[in-house]
Each structure stands twice: as structure tokens, then as C-alpha cells.
Amino acid sequence: MIDEQQGSSFLGRLYPLFGGLYVRFNRHRIASMIVGQTLIVAIIGMFVLNSVLGINIFRAFADISCPTGNAPYTIQSGDTLGSIATAHGTSWQTLAQQNQITDPNVIYANEQICVPSSGTIAAASVVPASQPMNTNTNTVPQHNTTNVFPYGQCTWWADQRYHDLNGYYVPWTTDSNADEWTARATDFNWHVSSQPTVGAIMDFQDGVQLASSVGHVSIVEQIMSNGDIITSNMNITGHPFGTVVYLTAHAGPGVTFITAS
């Protein structure tokens, strides 16, 4: 009898606790279900952004493990994939492929990527991409401090890409349709040539190859052994506005190559 009374007394003390929890759960069951469903929708949404839109949400919040010979780099505000590649002695194409970046024009501050831990440019000598690499003021060509052209146009891409590769924005801001760049380059003492070099601005006069009635400018990315030129372009005939496309072009009449020096 003593054991039975003690057992009943113990259960009696537990009932208010568990009974109260059960009552609370029942009372707020609908709210709990809504919260749970909201969390599920949010998680699914993150996966959709990650896989369909190419936004790598999860990598941005996690420390990454890089392969041997590489080290994590945290993207800073104002960085471009081109400026990061230049600072670490590699190419933006290599960084994009190695880090599975589907759109090299879209990277995020505070996101981590893997970069070569020992590039051809020492970390101590890296100059911010917004400044010219040549610090001798007697030989620095005329240049702008920002890209003044409308985003998505071929002129915006040529100016931005040339800056990322060479450290200079073009100095001309008026009378600057694509087919006017050769004349404006001469006005500002930039070098104009009929021979291509990697990283040069390739200027097409109106109607030449794929150029429109106001011409076209692109960047020389690679020169093939047969003389073909691989170019990067924006806003060129037959391709979506604002996307970078790689096309083959060639030197010849109506085509010039522009460099800062």
C-alpha cells in the first residue's frame, strides 16, 4: 500500500507539468504548423536560388576548404573576378571554372573563393584595380577614374574589361559611340594599331563584321595560331542584352586595336 500511494503521488505531481505542455501545444498548434511550413518554404526557396539562378547562398556563409596550392580569399566590396585574378597571378576564367562561378560578372562581398596561394604577383605589391599599375606619373596615360558608359552596352563592357585587365578606364566620355573610339583614342594619345594584342580594345566601324550602325567595341581575349581573334562582347547582334558572349573575329579593314600605351 505504501508503494502504491507513493506512485500515485509521484504521477500526480507530474500531471500538471505534462498536462500543461499538452494544453499549450494544442492551443498553439495552428501557429506552430504555420511557422514550420514557412521554414520549409524558405529552405526550398534558398535551394531554388542556388540551383536555378546560380546564386551560391550556402557558400557565402561557410568557410571553404581549398585544394593544395590554393587558399581561401574573402571577396571585398568593389572586387571583380578580373581584379582578383590579376592580383593572384591567374586568369578570371580559371577562377570561374575552379570555383564553379556560372556568371563571372556576379560575385558577392564576403563570399569566399579559392585562389592560388602563390601567384606571379606578390601580395605586398598588389595595387588596387581602380589605380593604374604604373605609378610613374610621367608615363601614366590619360584615363578616367570610373566607367561612365551605360551598363549592358558594348562600350560599358569594353571599358570595364579593359580596366580589369590593364588598370585603366578610357578617358573619353563624349562623342563616344563605338565607331568613334579610334578617333577619341588618338585625341587622348592612346595607342591605335592594326595589329591585335591580348587585352586590347577591338574597335569595329559601323557595319564591319557584326557591328551595328554605330560600330562595336570588344576585348581581345585570345589570339589563335591561325590569326582568329577570340573576343568578349556585350550587346552584339543576335545575343541577349547585358550578357557577355565570346565570339571569333578577325583583323582587317574597319578594325583597329586600342591600348593605353
First to last CA, the chain: 104
How would residue 29 be classed by pLDDT, with cut points 50, 70 and 90? low
Question: Residue 175, by phi and psi: left (phi above 0), alpha (psi -120 to 50) or beta?
Answer: left
Instruction: Give the whole-angstrom CA distance, residue 106 versus residue 172.
Output: 27
Read off the pLDDT of residues 243-255 as tens digits, 9 standing for 90 and up: 899 999 999 999 9
Q: Which domains are seen in the chain, by residue range?
A: 2-51 (no CATH), 57-124 (3.10.350.10), 154-259 (3.90.1720.10)
Read off the pLDDT of residues 179-234 as tens digits, 9 standing for 90 and up: 999 999 999 999 999 999 999 999 999 999 989 999 999 999 999 999 999 999 99
* For residue 123, pLDDT beyond 50: no
Tell me the CB-side half-sphere exposure of residue 149, using CA atoms within 13 A: 25
